Amino acid sequence: MRKIVAGLMVSVDGVVEAPEKWTGRYFSHEIGQVIGSVMAAGDTMLLGRVTYQTFAASFAGNTSDPMAAGMNAVPKVVVSATLEQAEWENSTLICGDVAQEITRLKEQPGKNINISGSPTLVTYLLRQGLLDELSLLLFPVVVGAGMRLFDGEGSPATLTLARCDAFSTGVVHLTYHADSA
């Protein structure tokens, strides 16, 4: 069975929104390697609506940037209650029972299913026992305002630390396995 791996950049105060605004000075070759290895281990992207629309606006149709070309080529599965269609190339919209459709996706052959951003979707998958791994790049910055990871109510969920790496810029890469998956 395929694994669902969520990769997020998070501030010390738990903000995951708009990391492009607060991660720049801490970015390094090491962090690029972490992101690249997570991406290389997957062959499908699972995205919530907001992240999907943000990525589509940034990458769709861009053939000159290798990262954009890779994003365009990979199959993308979008979870949304409001989108009527997913127009970015290689995109499919999940309709109906989200948990059932994602379980079916996990049962298909292939590599990991990666989630980038999409904190609402990550929270939902963790609560449903469908998230297998949480890869956090913790940046040494307090953002103060913005969407937080696991903001809101819900029952407790436990994680097991699988790996921890600290980088020279002060960023810490934390890899957790979801206990319920």
Residue 38 has pLDDT above 70, yes or no: yes
pTM of the model: 0.91
Q: Output the CA–CA distances (angstroms, integers) from residue 70 to 34, 36, 49, 62, 121, in the order listed.
A: 16, 11, 19, 10, 22
Q: What is the pLDDT of residue 161?
A: 97
Residue 63 has pLDDT above 60, yes or no: yes
The CATH number assigned to the domain holding 170 equals 3.40.430.10
pLDDT tens digits for 153-179? 777 888 999 999 999 999 999 999 998
CA triplet 27, 28, 29: central angle to 5 degrees? Answer: 140
Looking at the 3D structure of the chain, how many domains does it have?
1
Q: What is the pLDDT of residue 129?
A: 92
Handedness of CA 92, 97, 102, 107 (dihedral sign): negative
Residue 181 has pLDDT above 60, yes or no: no
Query: Which of these, 138, 123, 47, lies nearest to 88 by C-alpha position?
Result: 47
pLDDT tens digits for 69-124? 888 899 999 999 899 889 999 999 998 899 999 999 999 999 999 999 899 999 99
Q: What is the pLDDT of residue 180?
A: 61
The mean of the pLDDT values for the chain is 91
The domain of 45 spans: 4-178
